[in-house]
């Protein structure tokens, strides 16, 4: 079968729309043991409350919309962006403040849910709506069907099942998020494919005389876009009918100006088959009496039945007057600091408050908006030395080590052609003080190195005489002491003068007091102090090899620490052969 035009294979049960109202009262386990589908006469007759009494429980309304269209390893769903836009328009007309995200990966999808819940889900009187449009999948695990929503970077489970499980978001994850929410009312809508075996289904679609709805009672409702085994096309009639039910009031079955979750289920179950005979939505409630007595409510119009009382002010906060929003980013133009955002700039969302209200999000504050940022979660130390135009830490010499941790940030091409260390400096595999790109003998033994190497990195001739000594420094200092200058003068004298020196190797060290970065710099400065002294004596700079070796990781007495505050110097002398 060619699946390029389907959201689910025939063996996967069609789209699932999950409505969870008043989730703060939830005490049951994951969705695998949830639903009881049914209709007909309610178990207990109850008078329907007026819509305004229900809506009084809402202070603010927020919606998170996520659409996945451009999949890397699944068939693309070209209709999702348009569907997402229409759902957004409908919800804004219902008074919701809307965040919309398109084509985000698994990590970003989880982060969006977490951040939305943390921002808006802890206020008891908020009303929350979550909408996901994209691929869904059902997986067999230990004899049970497990449902997942699929981000754009999830692999095909038939090719890489473990990789799929790591990326996809399971219904267990959704259930855990739902329990974290403290807002009284939350509605989860998943326009995706899942197994229908988690539901106990009845086919009766008779409308009850009374709909038992109240904002004071909890409810968990479910609506599927089709029966088990039905194939649902990628561009089905389900979503348009769902939108029209709320936008145009088609779902207001009793004409009171409000659409409840129960009415929505009845409407979809009766209208979808009229336009697609192969699709039969079903609906029901959770198999828990305490969690099946309430209802989620949408406003359709003012309605003659709504009483104009002193409560009208609280109602206006639920359905505020719609203000202009030119770029459709969910921020009214009069509050928007970036009122002309394009579609690309809105992909990752915009700030909803503060000085950057309405401007594209920049989570790591590196100056590159998230929609352009390939590294959107940089830490402060990673951006301290700047970032590239793609938002990743700057790497001036392009050696693969970002500048913020590069001790040699201005390497030239010859210096990095044979690789660099984790500190960003040219590799020196045999640690002889001559970088590999200059080393004609890059694999010297420790014995060969102990006898000295020349500027090409090769062992010196045995007839050359080696002089070596240690130059000590005061704590946290790099200037030469009187004792140090005396020691250097003595070495020059033993060599017979500067002209007898073929090469000088200088290695700086430091104790482990202070940070690693500081001690690395201090060891280099100590080596430079010795080299500058010899240059003052007439030693050519090109006959000296300097290196800072950083701190010595050894904890001991102060006397032992003092031994690490030094420079090791080795002189290779000429004209010593006999």
User: Can you give 470-509 as a three-state secondary structure string?
Assistant: EEECCCCCCCCCHHHHHHHHHHHHHHCCHHHEEEEEEEEE
The CATH-assigned architecture of domain 460-573 is 2-Layer Sandwich (3.30)
C-alpha distances (whole Å) from 6 to each of 10, 164, 195, 196, 273 are: 9, 19, 16, 17, 18
484 CB-near residues (< 8 Å, 6+ apart): 471, 472, 473, 530
C-alpha distances (whole Å) from 558 to each of 110, 482, 484 are: 51, 21, 20
31 φ, ψ (degrees, to nearest 5): -70, -15
Label the pairing between strands 126-133 and 60-67.
parallel
Cβ-contact 424, 433 below 8 angstroms = no
Q: In whole angstroms, what separates CA 294 from the centre of its chain? A: 36
CA distance 422 to 427: 9
Torsion sign over Cα 119, 186, 225, 34: positive
CA distance 311 to 397: 66
Residue corresponding to tokens 């969302």: 349
20 CB-near residues (< 8 Å, 6+ apart): 26, 178, 186, 187, 188, 220, 221
The pLDDT score that the predictor gives to residue 152 is: 92
Label the pairing between strands 15-21 and 126-133.
unpaired
Domains 15-314 and 460-573 share a fold: no
Cβ-contact 377, 111 below 8 angstroms = no
The pLDDT score that the predictor gives to residue 36 is: 44
The pLDDT score that the predictor gives to residue 162 is: 92
C-alpha neighbours within 13 Å on the C-beta side of residue 74: 29
Residue corresponding to tokens 């090899």: 545
Q: Percentages helix, strand, coil for the chain, rounded to the nearest 5?
A: 30, 20, 50
Query: Roughly how many angstroms between the first and final C-alpha of the chain, as a whole number?
Result: 88
Which CATH number does the domain 15-314 belong to among 3.40.640.10, 3.90.650.10, 3.40.50.1460, 2.40.170.20? Answer: 3.40.50.1460
The helices-and-strands tally (H runs, E runs) of the chain is 15, 18
Which stretches in the chain have pLDDT values below 70? Answer: 1-58, 192-237, 278, 282-295, 301-323, 461-464, 552-556, 574-578
The pLDDT score that the predictor gives to residue 4 is: 40
The closest alpha carbon to 294, from 254, 261, 249, belongs to 261
The closest alpha carbon to 507, from 526, 521, 494, belongs to 526
Cβ-contact 461, 438 below 8 angstroms = no
CA distance 183 to 62: 11
The number of beta carbons lying within 10 Å of the beta carbon of residue 448 is 16
285 φ, ψ (degrees, to nearest 5): -125, 170
The closest alpha carbon to 329, from 100, 86, 116, belongs to 100
The pLDDT score that the predictor gives to residue 101 is: 93
Cβ-contact 21, 228 below 8 angstroms = no
The closest alpha carbon to 147, from 175, 176, 170, belongs to 170
**221 strand-pairing partners:** 19, 285
C-alpha distances (whole Å) from 481 to each of 529, 537, 566 are: 10, 17, 11
The closest alpha carbon to 73, from 146, 145, 163, belongs to 163
Domains of the chain: which residue ranges? 15-314, 460-573
Q: What angle do CA 66, 245, 109 make, to 5 degrees?
A: 10
Backbone φ/ψ region at 236: left (φ over 0), alpha (ψ -120 to 50), beta: beta
Cβ-contact 140, 132 below 8 angstroms = no
Label the pairing between strands 544-551 and 501-510.
parallel
């Amino acid at each position: 079968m060619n699946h390029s035009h389907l959201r689910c294979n025939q063996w996967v049960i069609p789209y699932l729309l999950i409505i969870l109202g008043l989730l703060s009262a939830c005490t049951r386990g994951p969705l695998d043991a949830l639903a009881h589908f049914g209709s007909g006469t309610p178990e207990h007759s109850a008078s329907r409350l007026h819509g305004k009494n229900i809506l009084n429980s809402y202070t603010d309304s927020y919606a998170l919309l996520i659409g996945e269209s451009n999949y890397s390893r699944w068939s693309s769903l070209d209709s999702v962006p348009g569907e997402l836009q229409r759902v957004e328009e409908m919800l804004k007309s219902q008074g919701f403040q809307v965040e919309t995200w398109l084509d985000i990966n698994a990590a970003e999808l989880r982060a969006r849910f977490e951040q939305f819940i943390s921002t808006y889900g802890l206020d008891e009187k908020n009303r929350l709506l979550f909408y996901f449009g994209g691929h869904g999948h059902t997986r067999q695990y230990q004899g049970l069907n497990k449902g997942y929503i699929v981000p754009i970077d999830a692999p095909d489970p038939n090719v890489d099942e473990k990789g799929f499980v790591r990326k996809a978001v399971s219904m267990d994850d959704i259930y855990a998020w739902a329990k974290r929410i403290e807002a009284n009312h939350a509605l989860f809508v998943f326009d995706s494919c899942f197994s229908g075996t988690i539901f106990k289904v009845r086919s009766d679609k008779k409308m009850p005389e009374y709909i038992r709805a109240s904002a004071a009672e909890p409810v968990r409702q479910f609506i599927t876009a089709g029966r088990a085994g039905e194939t649902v096309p990628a561009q089905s009639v389900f979503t348009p009918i769902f939108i029209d039910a709320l936008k145009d009031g088609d779902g207001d079955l009793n004409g009171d100006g409000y659409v409840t979750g129960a009415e929505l289920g009845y409407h979809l179950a009766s209208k979808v088959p009229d336009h697609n005979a192969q699709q039969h939505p079903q609906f029901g409630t959770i198999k828990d009496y305490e969690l099946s007595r309430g209802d989620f409510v949408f406003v359709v119009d003012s309605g003659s039945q709504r009483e104009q009382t002193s409560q009208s002010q609280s109602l206006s906060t639920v359905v505020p007057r719609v203000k202009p929003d030119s770029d459709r980013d969910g921020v009214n133009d009069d509050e928007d600091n970036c009122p002309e955002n394009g579609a690309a700039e809105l992909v990752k969302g915009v700030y909803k408050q503060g000085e950057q209200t309405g401007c594209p999000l920049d989570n790591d504050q590196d100056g590159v908006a998230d929609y352009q940022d390939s590294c959107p979660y940089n830490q402060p130390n990673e951006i301290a030395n700047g970032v590239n135009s793609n938002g990743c830490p700057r790497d001036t010499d392009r050696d693969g080590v970002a500048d913020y941790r590069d001790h040699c940030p201005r390497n030239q091409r010859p210096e990095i052609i044979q690789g660099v260390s984790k500190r960003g400096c040219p590799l020196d595999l045999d640690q002889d003080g001559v970088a590999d790109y200059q080393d004609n003998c890059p694999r010297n033994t420790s014995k060969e190195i102990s006898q000295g190497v020349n500027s090409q990195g090769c062992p010196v001739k045995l007839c050359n005489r080696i002089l070596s000594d240690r130059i000590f420094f005061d704590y946290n200092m790099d200037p030469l002491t009187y004792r140090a200058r005396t020691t250097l003068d003595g070495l020059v004298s033993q060599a017979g003068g500067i002209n007898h020196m073929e090469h000088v190797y200088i290695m700086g060290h430091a104790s482990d007091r202070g940070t690693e970065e500081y001690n690395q710099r201090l060891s280099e400065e100590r080596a430079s102090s010795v080299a500058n002294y010899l240059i003052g004596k007439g030693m050519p700079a090109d006959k000296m090899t300097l290196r800072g070796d950083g701190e010595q990781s050894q904890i001991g007495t102060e006397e032992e620490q003092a031994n690490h505050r030094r420079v090791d110097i080795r002189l290779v002398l000429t004209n010593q052969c006999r």
